[in-house]
Amino acid sequence: MLTLLLLGFQSHAQNGDEMQLKRIYDAALTDGKAYDWLNHLSNQIGGRLSGSLEAQRAVEYTKVQLESLQLDRVWLQPVMVPKWVRGTPEFAYMETSPGITSTVPIRALGGSVATPLGGLKANVIEVKGIEDLRALGENKIGGKIVFFNRPMDPTKISTFEAYSGAVDQRYSGAEEAAKFGAIGVIVRSLNLRLDDFPHTGSMSYGDTAEGDRIPAAAISTNAAEMLSTTLKLNPETKFYFKQHCKQFDDVQSYNVIGEIKGSTHPDEIIVVGGHLDSWDLGDGAHDDGAGCVQSMEVLRLLKLSGYIPKRTIRAVLFMNEENGLRGATEYAVKAKANNENHIFALESDAGGFAPRGFSFESSDTHLKRVHGWKPLFKPYQIHLFEKGHSGADIAPLKNGDNVLAGLRPDSQRYFVHHHAANDTFEHVNKRELELGAAAMASLVYLFDKYGVEPAATLGN
């Protein structure tokens, strides 16, 4: 009899959850605001590189929009951010023999130094990765431009895995090549498609002294194929590039935060977020305008669906994920200083594509609990509930007790647009964006309703 009662209770709860998810999804798909917000961020504001006017306008715009949702509190959290400016024009060509040149689509990597004013011209040595440098040595590399040309692995089904397998060339290529006397670095764009878009992204000089830093840039995948073929035909082919990028002093910026205060457990905080900054080449619609508007939409959908959160739910639009993580760091520092208890955090930073599921950083016990919710998501074609990376901005919030998660949209098209001039609004599908927001709101609802037990009580 007790069992029956419990079953009855469970099925009642399950039923209530089903209905709540349906309300969330219906609201997202019939009365969504995420797409309009993204339109504004993308088309009226544009690329939002940290320290830019656009980034500041995005701070102001999203603050006003969050205020319009009648939350309990909306505020800006100050943070100093790096300001790197691309400068124009950027220009490159390959020269097979004196005067015979082909223009190459090129864009400086974020954080790179400029070339000399007149540009840089040298012979090219092609490598498949950083690991090739030592074998070649200073003898073969000195005075040359190193061309990193290891493609992303097309056999990886998750394109993020393919990205992880190739991104070291972009991030550390210049630092490593300089050790062997290289005078510049060009990197094959991290794009699985052959096309003409160079894809920028962050790079680091590590502890290379300022005077020893060499300029680094990305060339398009088509150009990389062309250059590689050309070098086989004529190893004496020269490469020329010119860029005027510059690092300025840090400037003031902000995380944008909106919050619904918890009705019964206000001290337990749930964060849902994306990053407000983007690279400067496109308008940052997928990376990560989508994650920002979806996070804002989560608060809105919970309100629209008539749900009163028990816990405090915050949308956090982090500043400077792309080239510094200053916003994420500052948010975590302040959270710690204020002794805030973040029980769950969810980030969307993998594009506004049709959602497939979530990846979780958590104990196995917590993950098992989350797996129990999987059937609730089946009608919405959400099927991935896996251990894995959550998100760069929420990672600093990790502790032994809480759960971090990342939205996992379909990844096939992401790197077509990532950090390139074609990361633009028209490549975001309204329904796909909305389904992502609804999936996020559903997961936030479940974590809010059922909470997260500290590891100690779970004996984990």
* Catalytic annotation, residues: 321
Among 380, 388, 398, 454, binds its own copies (CB under 8 A): 380
Task: Determine the interface stretch with its own copies among 8-16, 270-278, 285-293, 380-388 (rule: CB under 8 A).
Answer: 380-388
Residue placing its CB nearer to its own copies in the complex, 16 or 154: 154
Considering the complex, state which of residue 318 and residue 373 has its C-beta at the smaller distance from its own copies: 373
How far apart are CB 185 and its own copies at their closest, in Å?
Answer: 27
Count the residues of the shown chain that bind its own copies, applying the rule CB under 8 A: 26
- 408 CB-near residues (< 8 Å, 6+ apart): 350, 355, 356, 357, 358, 359, 384, 386, 388
φ/ψ of 107, rounded to 5, equals -145, 135
Distance of CA 225 to the CA centre of its chain: 27
| 379 is a site residue for its own copies (CB under 8 A) | yes
363 binds its own copies per the rule CB under 8 A: no
- Inter-residue contact 301 to 30 (CB < 8 Å): no
Among 86, 342, 356, 366, binds its own copies (CB under 8 A): 356
Beta carbon nearer to its own copies, 149 or 243: 149
Taking the complex as a whole, the smallest distance from the CB of residue 118 to its own copies amounts, in Å, to: 39
Q: Which of 383, 387, 400, 426 binds its own copies (CB under 8 A)?
A: 383
**Closer Cβ to its own copies, 341 or 429, answer by number:** 429
Residues 6+ away with beta carbon under 8 Å from 293: 33, 34, 35, 37, 38, 41, 274, 433, 437
Q: Is 164 helix (H, G, I), strand (E, B) or coil?
A: helix
Span interacting with its own copies, options 127-135, 228-236, 266-274, 374-382, rule CB under 8 A = 374-382
Q: Which is nearer to its own copies, 111 or 151 (CB)?
A: 151
Round to whole Å and give the CA distance between 290 and 297.
Answer: 10
Interaction of residue 157 with its own copies, rule CB under 8 A: yes
The set of long-range contacts for 369-374, using a CB threshold of 8 Å and a minimum separation of 24, is 369/450, 370/403, 373/17, 373/443, 373/446
If the CB atoms of residues 144 and 356 are measured against its own copies, the closer one turns out to be 356
Instruction: Kindly state whether residue 384 participates in binding its own copies, applying the rule CB under 8 A.
Output: yes
Q: Tell which phi-psi region holds residue 449, choosing left (phi > 0), alpha (psi between -120 and 50) or beta.
A: alpha
The yes or no reply on residue 367 touching its own copies (CB under 8 A) is: no
* 154 contributes a contact to its own copies by CB under 8 A: yes
**264 contacts its own copies (rule: CB under 8 A):** no
Sheet strand arrangement including 145-148: 100-103, 91-97, 238-242, 120-127, 145-148, 184-188, 216-219, 106-108
C-beta of 161 vs 236, nearer to its own copies: 161
* One-letter amino acid of 12: H
- Interface region with its own copies, contact rule CB under 8 A, candidates 24-32, 47-55, 265-273, 304-312: 24-32
| CA-CA-CA-CA torsion sign (108, 113, 116, 117) | positive
Pairwise CA distance, residues 163 & 429, whole Å: 23
Q: How many residues does the chain have?
A: 460
3-state secondary structure of 296: helix
* CA 370 – CA 385 distance, rounded (Å): 8
Query: Residue type at 389?
Result: H
Which of 413, 417, 418, 419 binds its own copies (CB under 8 A)? It is 413
Residue pair 104/121 in contact (Cβ under 8 Å)? The answer is: no
Quick one: which H or E segment has residue 347? Answer: strand 341-347
Q: How far is the CB of 71 from its own copies (least distance, A)?
A: 26
Span from 45-53, 68-76, 397-405, 412-420 in contact with its own copies (CB under 8 A): 412-420
End-to-end CA distance of the chain: 32
CB nearer its own copies, residue 26 or residue 132: 26
Q: Looking only at residues 158 through 197 of this chain, which bind its own copies when binding is defined by CB under 8 A?
A: 159, 192-193
User: At its nearest, how many Å lie between its own copies and the CB of residue 129?
Assistant: 19
* Positions in 25-54 near its own copies (CB under 8 A): 25-26, 29-30
Whether a cis peptide bond, with omega within 30° of 0, leads into 454 is no
Site string for its own copies, 193-222 (x = CB under 8 A): x-----------------------------
Q: How far is the CB of 368 from its own copies (least distance, A)?
A: 18
Residue placing its CB nearer to its own copies in the complex, 12 or 128: 128
Q: Which listed range, 94-102, 114-122, 285-293, 408-416, lies at the site for its own copies (CB under 8 A)?
A: 408-416
| 418 is a contact residue toward its own copies (CB under 8 A) | no
User: 361, 390 in Cβ contact below 8 A?
Assistant: yes
Question: Nearest to residue 94, comparing CAs of 141, 147, 133?
Answer: 147
For its own copies, the binding residues (CB under 8 A) are 25-26, 29-30, 154-155, 157, 159, 192-193, 354, 356, 379-381, 383-384, 410, 412-413, 416, 429-432, 435
